[in-house]
Amino acid sequence: MPKRVKPTGEENEQESVPCKQAKEELPNTLSVLNFDSPRSFFESLIAPIKVETFFQEFWEQKPLLIQRDDPSLAAYYQSLFSLSDLRSLCSQGLYYGRDVNVCRCIGGKKKVLNKDGKAQFLQLRKDFDQKRATIQFHQPQRFKDELWRIQEKLECYFGSLVGSNVYMTPAGSQGLPPHYDDVEVFILQLEGRKRWRLYSPTVPLAREYSVEPEERIGTPTHDFLLKPGDLLYFPRGTIHQAETPSGLAHSIHLTISTYQNNSWGDYLLDSISGLVFDIAKEDVALRTGMPRRMLMNVETPADVTRKLSGFLRTLADQLEGRKELLSSDMKKDFVMHRLPPFCVGSGAESMNPGGKLPRLNSIVRLQFKDHIVLTVGPDQNQSDEAQQKMVYIYHSLKNERQTHMMGKEVETEIYGLRFPLSYVDALKQIWCGSPVRVKDLKLGTDEEKENLAVSLWTECLVQVL
């Protein structure tokens, strides 16, 4: 019998079956972006730029400014967050540091003006008006349904976590000094106007903040003035600063960021241990002992380096043609910490199976494919060396939106199922997305076929047609 996974530390896109939504008055401007699928949403977000053009010419390469004189789009952006939203959220309990930061750039340095404990709107507004401070609000998608809707689609599209921050800045003020980030950044201008200055050289595909940006700043290469409805993209490592010009109203912009720790290097670190685990079972050379006292050497001897180089070449040769790599943490980390499917006014408790229980003659189809990962790994319940492989299915259907992108110190749980490796072909039948009759699943017995369908249905991963 399959078992539930206990909590632990470019496929074809398939439109997820939407959740039942509570009745709610939503802005008429919602039609300006296309939420039919992750791809259609991203296409509408960067229109009129074509998706292919964006990834060929701009992604990880250079900034892109998209200016659009579209009143409906500007009104939609303005509906995403405002100072009145901050007022109502403060009444729900926001805290300095965790939820909001108050800061201002003075003399080229960031000055943090946070108080202790709960944030009160009147104090925030006082610092905003009198000290000309910027209010930074962390991860507004935890509270604003439409931002949840946007970022959930982007997480499906990029296959990576997507975070956001709102910056509210008074006229004639600047919140942060020139700096760079280790994420790909999309800026949506919500209210007012903001001047963005981008510098050269960049810190190519930045990963760490090991070099002070001030030491690398050259001359500005781009100077953009954004108005509501405009979108600015720049790659990670781009040194930038933003200010609200004097003589204008305050400005509000939203940063949406993605692709943190999502590089080839990260994937190698994640998968290489599983590859070594697999190949060492077949290659005796990888199981022979290291030279005596090697771990006590200050420097690595040349013959050891040559030996390791040979092992790496063996791994590279063995890697060719493999269809499955054992993923250690990246898949689980993504699924565990991402947003659940968008359901207005609903939480994880709304994810309950509905409709008929699947039987042998039932036809089932995968749903929420963009929120599920399937991976093969060693049996986590076995402690001996002869671990058997299992098929793991992890999903984000029951994740808590309120903890999204709030740090790994927040207690989270991973949801899913595990099956014997013999179930993998049947699962791949379902994963293709086409309807399949339960009795046609590639399993040995009718009992196994029905148990598989019921297990997936119980987790809301398939629907009965």
Q: What is the pLDDT of residues 1-14, one digit of tens each?
A: 444 544 443 444 54
**DSSP characters for 273-337?**
HHHHHHHHTT-GGGGSPPPTTGGG-SS--HHHHHHHHHHHHHHHHHHTT-S-----SHHHHHHHH
**Structural domain contains residue 383:** yes
Nearest to 13 by CA among 70, 51, 64, 46: 51
Q: Which amino acid is at 140?
A: P
Question: What mean pLDDT do residues 397-424 have?
Answer: 89
Q: Is the pLDDT of residue 409 over 90?
A: no
CATH code, 153? 2.60.120.650
- Going by pLDDT thresholds of 50, 70 and 90, the confidence category of residue 22 is very low
CA 376, 382, 385, 388 torsion: positive or negative? negative
φ/ψ region of 241 (left if φ > 0, alpha if ψ in -120 to 50, else beta) reads beta
Same domain? 246 vs 304: no
Same domain? 343 vs 197: no
CATH code, 372? 3.90.930.40
**Structural domain contains residue 399:** yes
| Encoded tokens for 170 | 């008074």
**Structural domain contains residue 9:** no
Q: Which amino acid is at 103?
A: C
Same domain? 101 vs 205: yes
Same domain? 351 vs 305: no
Query: Which pLDDT score, from 0 to 100, does residue 29 have?
Result: 46
Query: Which pLDDT score, from 0 to 100, does residue 15 have?
Result: 47
Are 198 and 226 in contact by the 8 Å Cβ rule? The answer is no
Same domain? 138 vs 276: no
Q: Can you tell me the distance from the alpha carbon of 421 to that of 389, in angstroms, rounded to the nearest whole number?
A: 6
Are 418 and 2 in contact by the 8 Å Cβ rule? The answer is yes
Question: What mean pLDDT do residues 276-296 have?
Answer: 87
**Structural domain contains residue 10:** no
More confident: 203 or 208: 203
- Going by pLDDT thresholds of 50, 70 and 90, the confidence category of residue 272 is confident
- Going by pLDDT thresholds of 50, 70 and 90, the confidence category of residue 452 is very high
Q: Is the pLDDT of residue 138 over 90?
A: yes
Q: Which residues contact 212 (CB under 8 A, 6 or more apart)?
A: none
Query: Which pLDDT score, from 0 to 100, does residue 385 have?
Result: 55
| Encoded tokens for 254 | 């939203």
Same domain? 163 vs 290: no
Query: Which pLDDT score, from 0 to 100, does residue 211 have?
Result: 64
User: In the block, which residue shows the tokens 């006292």?
Assistant: 293
CA 78, 81, 82, 88 torsion: positive or negative? positive
Question: What mean pLDDT do residues 61-72 have?
Answer: 95
- Which of 258, 275, 295 is where one domain is finished? 258
- Tally the domains of the chain: 3
**Structural domain contains residue 68:** yes
CA 204, 206, 211, 212 torsion: positive or negative? positive
Q: Which amino acid is at 365?
A: R
Please report, for residues 19, 120, 271, 282, 389, the alpha-carbon distance to residue 376 in angstroms, rounded to integers and kept in the order given. Answer: 29, 49, 12, 18, 7
Question: What mean pLDDT do residues 342-350 have?
Answer: 59
Tally DSSP H helices, then E strands, for the chain: 11, 18
Are 63 and 198 in contact by the 8 Å Cβ rule? The answer is yes
- Which of 226, 242, 258 is where one domain is finished? 258
- Going by pLDDT thresholds of 50, 70 and 90, the confidence category of residue 208 is low
Q: Is the pLDDT of residue 192 over 50?
A: yes
Query: Which pLDDT score, from 0 to 100, does residue 396 have?
Result: 95
Does the pTM exceed 0.75?
yes
Q: Can you tell me the distance from the alpha carbon of 392 to that of 369, in angstroms, rounded to the nearest whole number?
A: 15
Q: What pairing do the DSSP bridges indicate for beta strands 184-191 and 194-199?
A: unpaired
Same domain? 160 vs 187: yes
Please report, for residues 167, 224, 374, 379, 401, the alpha-carbon distance to residue 253 in angstroms, rounded to integers and kept in the order given. Answer: 5, 14, 37, 46, 22
Query: Which pLDDT score, from 0 to 100, does residue 21 have?
Result: 43
Are 326 and 278 in contact by the 8 Å Cβ rule? The answer is yes
Q: How many residues does the chain have?
A: 465
Same domain? 345 vs 236: no
Same domain? 91 vs 157: yes
| Encoded tokens for 68 | 């659009």
Q: Is the pLDDT of residue 363 over 70?
A: yes
CATH code, 286? 1.10.10.1500
**Structural domain contains residue 245:** yes
Same domain? 227 vs 271: no
Q: Is the pLDDT of residue 352 over 50?
A: yes
Query: Which pLDDT score, from 0 to 100, does residue 324 have?
Result: 72
Q: Which residues of 401-426 are buried (b: 16+ CB within 10 A; e: fewer)?
A: beebbbeeeeebebbbbbbbeebbeb
| Encoded tokens for 16 | 């997820």
**Structural domain contains residue 54:** yes
**Structural domain contains residue 7:** no
Q: Which amino acid is at 135?
A: I
Which contiguous run of DSSP H or E holds residue 390?
Answer: strand 389-395
Q: Can you tell me the distance from the alpha carbon of 92 to that of 102, in angstroms, rounded to the nearest whole number?
A: 19
In degrees to the nearest 10, what's the CA dihedral of 32, 37, 38, 41?
A: -10
Same domain? 141 vs 87: yes
- Which of 258, 286, 301 is where one domain is finished? 258
Question: What mean pLDDT do residues 319-332 have?
Answer: 78
The domain of 304 spans 264-319
Mean pLDDT of the chain: 88
How large is the C-alpha radius of gyration of the chain?
25
Same domain? 179 vs 41: yes
Q: What percent of the chain has pLDDT over 70?
A: 88
Beta bridge partners of 165: 138, 255
